[in-house]
Structure 1
Amino acid sequence: MKRVAGLSPALSDVGETSLGTLPGVGPRVAEKLAARGLVTLQDLWLQLPRQYEDRTSILPIRDLRPGVAAQVEGMVEAVERGFRYRPMLRVAIVDDSRATLVLRFFHFRAAQVAQFAPGVRLRCFGMPRAGQHGLEIVHPSYRVVDAGEIALGEQLDPVYPAVEGIGPATLRRLIGLALDRLPDEATLELLPAELRQQLQLPSLRSALLTVHRPPRDADVAALLAGSHPAQRRLALEELLAHHLGLRRQRIALQRHKAAPLTGGGTLVQRLGDALPFALTQAQQRVYLQVRDDLAAHSPMLRLVQGDVGSGKTVVAAMAALLAVEAGKQAALMAPTELLAEQHLSTLRGWLEPLGVRVAWLAGKVTGKVRAAAMADVASGAVQVVVGTHALMQEGVVFHDLALAIVDEQHRFGVHQRLALRDKGSGDRVPHQLVLTATPIPRTLAMAAYADLDVSSIDELPPGRKPVHTVALSADRRPELVERIRKACAEGRQAYWVCTLIDDSDEVVAQAAQSTFEALSAALPELRIGLVHGRMKAAMKQATMRAFKDGALDLLVATTVIEVGVDVANASLMIIENAERLGLAQLHQLRGRVGRGSAASSCVMLYQAPLSQLARQRLETMRQTHDGFVIAERDLQLRGPGELLGTRQTGLALFRVADLARDADLLPLVRGLADQLLADAPGNADRIVARWVGGAARYAAA
């Protein structure tokens, strides 16, 4: 971890001390710990337990409950060793309540078997489950005890996330040794005392000791739920660290200069007059926010979120025209060629009649065509460039890039956004406009996008009808085939979305290939196309274009069409194995229909039986069409990690904080960040270094 200027000597000396100073940590152990990011004592202090085991009491076997971990003690009554399918050892113990429990082992040594002689007394801990002959525990932790031994644990035993190559007991010992070197409260504490008193939260030292070494009378339920005051204290500081890291990045970036785009808006006015629709109030409001940002000498950093079909592309086009009118260039980057090509078609239709040249740069643009396009971009002959990640390659040089528009940014790696930002000319960086059709819950936006101003287009264009949504069991597929036949006979088009490309024995899902073949046989009169992620880009593009042009009646596809072309004539969406998809994905897929004037339907086919989580997701889809409501529900059901996507370096990978559970702390975090940056910037640095370390520099890319 990088040494931060201004650290007090005590924190610097102790918290940043190498783990190599602990007894038993040689080069090999240190290397295994470092592979998990555990390098200093401070890293071990913050390696928090994922759960607790209560060995402070012994429960009678008769009181055991399936799924509730407990400690029992009993005498070995019988031992059975078998090799029917694989080696197995069953040990029956009986306690003073005369109830019997079976201990089952699949991995064991001969020396272990010798321990389990009838009459030996065992103390065991584990999770009971229903077996063939009553309750059993598979691979319990256990030890042989003497008759009459009564010594029990004084505190709950922490269970830490596994570190490859290091056993749980060794890890627990090392964390204990690190905790023994915790500095005093005055050295560790970085939050104002009045705030802790107001929230009735313990000091950092007290919170760490409580979480690692919970006393015997600790509220186990609160600890397991993550709501104990000690965990709340740690969550507050961790959220604050991430927020400060992002804010610091924003402050650093805004020290750069950007070209103020202050044209008269003539091109924007001409575009507005030419559009066949009027902007909604939400679009107008967001455009004015973007226009004000672009007029500044510091770079704009704005996220525009809006539901599928809410009109984000129009706002992006108007922003691009402001750059063009100022004599600069704008670039729009999309994560897939399908989406980028759709943007290209839309922008050319809108901008070229205004005299604005739009270039296309994607992976499939090669040879002389690519060289010519790159020359036009470098010379300034084209003002707007559309493409995929190919825009960020080293060979692409812009004449004067003033605005970078990134669509569906959560699908891009952080370094990719950094690369596009670095395409500015001279000492100026481009303004950044980020678009997403996946509405982000307010709590998540506050935590994950503290470096961005967030605008919401929370109004759909007039005339858009809600999509009628139903959930049907998979055994009703034949009815749907007839429904497709009827819809297509009336001149409409339909999607059938599958979650796999090839059949798999491991997952109960109808693959796209076999579905395409089955529907082709059942509906020979229809023109049916197939699209999936393993097809060559050219074939995929051609099939999607044929569907858009009306040359296909039915498109069988995987979720590659989640972010795809707009087909106004498509009015029926069937999602196979809908129980396997998250709410955001289901909502995105549903947004592919209902884009024209015809009444549209979305049918979610599910494989029974449904899990409780899947049932909640499908019910939410039936109840609401509001992407923001769906996003909030998705956060509750799935947590922030999946919503943000795995590529968001440094975000949502919290040790103790949970954005859904700790949402009420976020407004407090924002106010506290303002206070620290103004009054104690040194403490702000130390909090970021403690929790985030080097990850902070990527988080605000």
Structure 2
Amino acid sequence: MDANDSPPVTALKGVGPRLAARLEHLGIHTVDDLLFHLPLRYQDRTRVVPIGTLRPGDEAVIEGEVLLTEIKFGKRRMLLSRIGDGSGTLTLRFFHFSATMQQSLARGSRVRCYGEARPGTVGLEMVHPEFRRVDETAPTAVEEHLTPIYPTTEGLQQPSLRNLTSQALQWLHDGRLPLIDHLPPELLRGLGFPSLQEAVTYLHRPPPDAPLSLLAEVRHPAQRRLAFEELLAHTLSLRRLRAQSQRHKAPPLHGDGVLRERFLAALPFPLTGAQQRVGAEIARDLQQPHPMQRLVQGDVGSGKTVVAALAALQAVEAGYQAAVMAPTELLAEQHFHNFARWLAPLGIEVAWLAGKLKTKARRDILQGLADGSTRIAVGTHALFQEGVEFHDLGLVIIDEQHRFGVHQRLALREKGKSGGRYPHQLIMTATPIPRTLAMTAYADLDCSIIDELPPGRTPVETVVIPDSRRDAVVARVHSACRAGRQAYWVCTLIEESETLAAQAAQDTAALLAAALPDLRIGLVHGRLRQDEKERVMADFKDGRIDLLVATTVIEVGVDVPNASLMIIENAERLGLAQLHQLRGRVGRGSTESHCVLMYHGPLSLQGRERLAVMRETADGFEIARKDLELRGPGEVLGTRQTGLLQLRIADLQRDQSLLAEASRSADLLLQRWPQQAALLIRRWVGAATRYGEV
């Protein structure tokens, strides 16, 4: 029996419609779901502790006689109960109480309590402990196992969850609920993990001597067994998606190479070895009769756009259209200008499709895409809105893909589907993903890496300075601009508010203009109208502005070779990937370039670490590795990389050591036990697979 065949949770005693609805909030529909709903932590209630031995902060079970119970009236009404056991006394304090509770705590009653001992007004106290009356003549047994504390939801108490898991575990041991282990014994033996039933039972009811620190760190073999199985299932599901997409048909794009040759001949620089290698991998993929799914990772400024242009030209040579999609208007626009500049001499018109187009211009572009006269379109998510129809879309290029929701990418792929054939997909990112993470998160993609910077790019020297030395930084900007160079001054804010960020940038620009009256200062922020933003950027690019004050809107896509100095204010507020992206705006020419990270002290430990990494390395992959260490995979991949990687037990950062083994085991399962692979996917991933089809 598997999760999908498991009895519904309503089969358990005491689960009516209301409780079932609350369990549903936790994703619990079946008895199996309940067994995989694991505790967050544990409490030790396996022994009664003498009150006299308690220290502040101890969580413990105590038992004693009620010496006094009274209602105290102050700012708020409270019930106080003093209990003693011969070794010492302790106060129980309740802010919410009933008449029944008051009776249970009548003087002379014997009670057993569990809670945290805290310093009170008179000795130690427990606030709102769990308690029950016990009979002196018939001793009450203590718990036989550590007590689990489960993730819960409003209206669902811990005792209720414990009661339900106890029922489910009983079914498991009676053989009424066979929890089938889908990992073949041969595979399990080599890994040294416990069986599934042993692992699940142990985690719901650990013995009194269980190592609490190992369990708290989620490093116990029983936890690792389940984390491994979940990672394996996700890896398998992505491999299966890849196999499915290989079965889809795509138009083989056999271009004659003429446009590409003319394009390369007109470039003012030769391609690097890495660009040539990745370009050849893409060209080979595009000639296949099934959709290419290739991720190109390349550091800031490594020349991914040129490689994308080559791919687009191959589609045009083969008689098809190509669409280039970027997450922000600024980045999409940068791509549009690059493509238009490169392809106009080849007689290819590039269409620009963004949300703010006037009706007439939009209508003309849509007409060109629908009748096929427009071969290449560049835009934001406006590319897949209703009313946009392509004549014969052969290639979709998605830049900085982790910023798009999975549904947006699905929509663009579906748009290109015609006659049962899907377009090829080229996905690009300047946020390098560490290899172990890519193996799991992108197991459905072929990965290429452009690991070489074009000649002429100069390394950027990075310095970290407190904002108390702001005057010295302003003087440095002045001397660089007087020497004919240009500079960026980036303002960052904690709040993600464009209005506040724009205000901060305006204030900074005014202060700098007063301090540097002989410099031409420009300002760009997210609140500016698109045409104003373009005009300022064009003036900066053409050298009519010396110093550009900006918010982080310039993070991606702006290329000004003469800019050799970048100041980032409050740098401690930004993540490593964003700092690296911003720094990539300088060092694009042959002049020695500098990046000044100005921080407001005192720095947190993580802030200090981040800035130290930026000072020590310019290697995007090393920075990504540190970013993963400091911030975790959700941030590195984009919060919701796919609807697929929503892990219940595993954690990509904590369980990195299991990723390579999960990948190896996935290969083995698909070769030797494909049936088991399908069952594992069904148990752990279920219907989420659809999300990965991008």
TM over 0.5: yes
After TM superposition, give the deviation of residue 190 of structure 1 in Å: 0.8
After TM superposition, give the deviation of residue 651 of structure 1 in Å: 4.0
1:38 partnered with 2:28: yes
1:173-212 equivalence runs, <5 A: 173-182=163-172, 188-212=180-204
- Are 1:268 and 1:318, in contact at CA under 8 Å, matched by a contact in 2? yes
After TM superposition, give the deviation of residue 65 of structure 1 in Å: 7.8
- Please list the CA deviations of residues 391-417 of structure 1 after superposition, one character each: whole Å capped at 9, or x if unmatched: 112311112111100001101111111
How many matched pairs? 683
Q: Distance in 1 between matches of 2:381 and 2:45?
A: 54
- Please list the CA deviations of residues 660-698 of structure 1 after superposition, one character each: whole Å capped at 9, or x if unmatched: 222232232223223333333332221111111111111
Task: Report the counterpart of residue 167 of structure 1 in structure 2.
Answer: 157
1:297-336 equivalence runs, <5 A: 297-336=289-328
After TM superposition, give the deviation of residue 211 of structure 1 in Å: 1.5
2:587 to 580, 594, 604: 594
Task: Report the counterpart of residue 667 of structure 1 in structure 2.
Answer: 660
- Are 1:125 and 1:141, in contact at CA under 8 Å, matched by a contact in 2? yes
- Are 2:492 and 2:501, in contact at CA under 8 Å, matched by a contact in 1? no
After TM superposition, give the deviation of residue 355 of structure 1 in Å: 2.1
Task: Report the counterpart of residue 4 of structure 1 in structure 2.
Answer: none
* Larger Cα-atom Rg: 2
Q: Distance in 2 between matches of 1:631 and 1:77?
A: 61
After TM superposition, give the deviation of residue 239 of structure 1 in Å: 0.8
Deviates more, 1:409-418 or 1:655-664: 655-664
Q: Distance in 2 between matches of 1:20 and 1:518?
A: 67
Q: Distance in 2 between matches of 1:61 and 1:287?
A: 73
Task: Report the counterpart of residue 2 of structure 2 in structure 1.
Answer: 11
Deviates more, 1:256-265 or 1:507-516: 507-516
User: Secondary structure of 1:218's match?
Assistant: coil
Q: Distance in 2 between matches of 1:674 and 1:585?
A: 35
1:218-229 equivalence runs, <5 A: 218-229=210-221
Q: Distance in 2 between matches of 1:118 and 1:485?
A: 80
Q: Distance in 2 between matches of 1:92 and 1:554?
A: 71
After TM superposition, give the deviation of residue 331 of structure 1 in Å: 0.9
Letter in 1 for 2:633: P
Task: Report the counterpart of residue 425 of structure 1 in structure 2.
Answer: 418
1:143 partnered with 2:131: yes
After TM superposition, give the deviation of residue 161 of structure 1 in Å: 1.7
1:658 to 651, 656, 666: 651
- Are 1:640 and 1:660, in contact at CA under 8 Å, matched by a contact in 2? yes
- Please list the CA deviations of residues 366-408 of structure 1 after superposition, one character each: whole Å capped at 9, or x if unmatched: 3111111111122222221111111112311112111100001
1:677 partnered with 2:670: yes
1:70 partnered with 2:63: no
- Are 2:489 and 2:566, in contact at CA under 8 Å, matched by a contact in 1? yes
User: Secondary structure of 2:421's match?
Assistant: coil
After TM superposition, give the deviation of residue 299 of structure 1 in Å: 0.8
Task: Report the counterpart of residue 391 of structure 1 in structure 2.
Answer: 383
Deviates more, 1:608-617 or 1:269-278: 608-617
Instruction: Flag structure 1 segments of 5+ consecutive residues without an equivalent.
Output: 1-9
Letter in 2 for 1:182: L
Change in CA separation of 1:339 and 1:72 when aligned onto 2, cut-off 3 Å: same
2:432 to 430, 439, 448: 439
Change in CA separation of 1:235 and 1:509 when aligned onto 2, cut-off 3 Å: farther
Change in CA separation of 1:642 and 1:61 when aligned onto 2, cut-off 3 Å: farther
- Are 1:443 and 1:659, in contact at CA under 8 Å, matched by a contact in 2? no
- Are 2:26 and 2:152, in contact at CA under 8 Å, matched by a contact in 1? no
Q: Distance in 2 between matches of 1:104 and 1:153?
A: 24
After TM superposition, give the deviation of residue 465 of structure 1 in Å: 2.5
Change in CA separation of 1:278 and 1:415 when aligned onto 2, cut-off 3 Å: same
Task: Report the counterpart of residue 493 of structure 2 in structure 1.
Answer: 499
Change in CA separation of 1:104 and 1:580 when aligned onto 2, cut-off 3 Å: farther
Q: Distance in 2 between matches of 1:275 and 1:19?
A: 65
After TM superposition, give the deviation of residue 177 of structure 1 in Å: 2.6
- Are 1:641 and 1:652, in contact at CA under 8 Å, matched by a contact in 2? no
2:555 to 549, 552, 562: 562
1:288 to 277, 280, 285: 280
- Are 1:503 and 1:511, in contact at CA under 8 Å, matched by a contact in 2? no
Letter in 2 for 1:498: T
- Are 2:522 and 2:545, in contact at CA under 8 Å, matched by a contact in 1? yes
Letter in 2 for 1:623: E
After TM superposition, give the deviation of residue 216 of structure 1 in Å: 1.5
- Are 2:45 and 2:143, in contact at CA under 8 Å, matched by a contact in 1? yes
Task: Report the counterpart of residue 574 of structure 2 in structure 1.
Answer: 581
User: Secondary structure of 2:171's match?
Assistant: coil
After TM superposition, give the deviation of residue 34 of structure 1 in Å: 2.1
Change in CA separation of 1:674 and 1:517 when aligned onto 2, cut-off 3 Å: same
Letter in 1 for 2:10: G
Letter in 2 for 1:272: L
1:376 to 336, 347, 368: 368
- Are 1:499 and 1:576, in contact at CA under 8 Å, matched by a contact in 2? no
- Are 2:634 and 2:640, in contact at CA under 8 Å, matched by a contact in 1? no
Letter in 2 for 1:212: H
After TM superposition, give the deviation of residue 498 of structure 1 in Å: 0.9
Letter in 1 for 2:59: A
- Are 1:238 and 1:654, in contact at CA under 8 Å, matched by a contact in 2? yes
- Are 1:573 and 1:602, in contact at CA under 8 Å, matched by a contact in 2? yes
- Are 1:283 and 1:311, in contact at CA under 8 Å, matched by a contact in 2? yes
After TM superposition, give the deviation of residue 482 of structure 1 in Å: 2.9
Q: Distance in 2 between matches of 1:137 and 1:682?
A: 57
Task: Report the counterpart of residue 3 of structure 1 in structure 2.
Answer: none
**TM-score scaled to structure 1, two decimals?**
0.88
Change in CA separation of 1:171 and 1:523 when aligned onto 2, cut-off 3 Å: farther
Letter in 2 for 1:256: H
Change in CA separation of 1:523 and 1:207 when aligned onto 2, cut-off 3 Å: same
1:419-498 equivalence runs, <5 A: 419-422=411-414, 423-491=416-484, 492-498=486-492
Task: Report the counterpart of residue 158 of structure 1 in structure 2.
Answer: 148
1:52 partnered with 2:46: no
- Are 2:350 and 2:374, in contact at CA under 8 Å, matched by a contact in 1? yes
Deviates more, 1:482-491 or 1:86-95: 86-95
User: Secondary structure of 1:261's match?
Assistant: coil
After TM superposition, give the deviation of residue 335 of structure 1 in Å: 0.6
Q: Distance in 2 between matches of 1:330 and 1:132?
A: 71
1:607 partnered with 2:600: yes
User: Secondary structure of 2:172's match?
Assistant: coil
User: Secondary structure of 1:123's match?
Assistant: strand
1:17-28 equivalence runs, <5 A: 17-28=7-18
After TM superposition, give the deviation of residue 544 of structure 1 in Å: 3.5
Deviates more, 1:391-400 or 1:671-680: 671-680
- Are 1:359 and 1:373, in contact at CA under 8 Å, matched by a contact in 2? yes
1:348 to 329, 337, 340: 340
Instruction: Flag structure 2 segments of 5+ consecutive residues without an equivalent.
Output: none
Q: Distance in 2 between matches of 1:135 and 1:686?
A: 57
After TM superposition, give the deviation of residue 344 of structure 1 in Å: 0.6
**TM-score scaled to structure 2, two decimals?**
0.89
After TM superposition, give the deviation of residue 33 of structure 1 in Å: 2.4
Change in CA separation of 1:203 and 1:555 when aligned onto 2, cut-off 3 Å: same
Give RMSD over aligned pairs: 3.5
Q: Distance in 1 between matches of 2:78 and 2:464?
A: 44
1:108 partnered with 2:96: yes
Task: Report the counterpart of residue 408 of structure 1 in structure 2.
Answer: 400
Change in CA separation of 1:564 and 1:667 when aligned onto 2, cut-off 3 Å: same
- Please list the CA deviations of residues 572-598 of structure 1 after superposition, one character each: whole Å capped at 9, or x if unmatched: 323333333222222222222222223
Task: Report the counterpart of residue 350 of structure 2 in structure 1.
Answer: 358
After TM superposition, give the deviation of residue 127 of structure 1 in Å: 8.4
Q: Distance in 2 between matches of 1:686 and 1:20?
A: 24
After TM superposition, give the deviation of residue 101 of structure 1 in Å: 8.1
